[in-house]
Amino acid sequence: MNHEHAFVCGNPVLDFAATLRARRSARFEMFATPDRLDAWFIESGLVDSVVPGGEADVERAKAVREAIYHLVTARRHEQDYDQAALDLVNDAARRPPATPQLTRAGRRTEATVEQALSLVARLAVELLSGPDVPLMKECGNPECTRVYVDRSRGTRRHWCGMESCGNKFKAAAYRARKKDASAAAGR
């Protein structure tokens, strides 16, 4: 299967929140169509198959995603939760979740978009009330707005992922240093 979504945040809830990229600048929407949303649920590993959703499912998923992002941001900055965001996530979490089934081939989870969204919302409740809260950081790339769980030794990680942001940032810094050095040499 061709994976088009990125999973670098260390928690599917944070990967879900990161499907609106570069929030401060370009704002790139990963859930442009219902099939992109369906693909995310499957690629995330939360479900094995999803009943194809429609535009209304996409709008609901985006609303829940934005509510999760606001709650994560509030938690990171030790601010009060926005009540509307809290209500939206809790409402999604109250819906029946996808239920794994045992088959001859092993475990299989089939879901509707609402059931898959319920799983994400329940995981958000766990994340935001759990031990990983102090480990949540925003990527050091100013263009990137992903929040990730830093489980590195000494919690020294600066990027959501080396492939996505770390290498780009390091390469840009290297080029800037090289340019400065050659400019200094030419003085």
For residue 27, being part of any structural domain is answered with yes
Per residue in 116-127, pLDDT tens?
A: 999 999 999 999
Are the CB atoms for 62 and 34 separated by under 8 Å? no
| pLDDT score for 113 | 97
* pLDDT score at 101: 96
pLDDT at 38: 96
What does pLDDT average to over the chain? Answer: 91
pLDDT of residue 30: 95
Predicted TM-score (pTM) of the model is: 0.87
Would 124 be classed as within a structural domain?
Answer: yes
User: Is 160 inside any structural domain?
Assistant: no
Does residue 97 form part of some domain?
A: yes
178 in a domain, yes or no?
no
3-state helix, strand, coil in the chain (%, to 5): 50, 10, 40
The average pLDDT across 42-66 equals 97
Structural domain count, the chain: 1
- For the chain, give the percent of residues with pLDDT over 90: 73
DSSP state letter for 162: I
| Residue 58 resides in a domain | yes
pLDDT band of 29, cuts 50, 70, 90: very high
Q: Is residue 48 included in any domain, yes or no? A: yes
Secondary structure in 3-state letters for 22-51: CCCCCCEECCCCHHHHHHHHHHCCCCCEEC
* Interval 125-180: pLDDT, tens: 999 999 999 999 999 988 889 999 999 999 999 888 877 687 766 666 656 667 77
Q: What is the pLDDT of residue 43?
A: 96
Range of the domain at 125: 12-133
Q: How many CA atoms within 13 Å lie on the side-chain side of 185?
A: 6
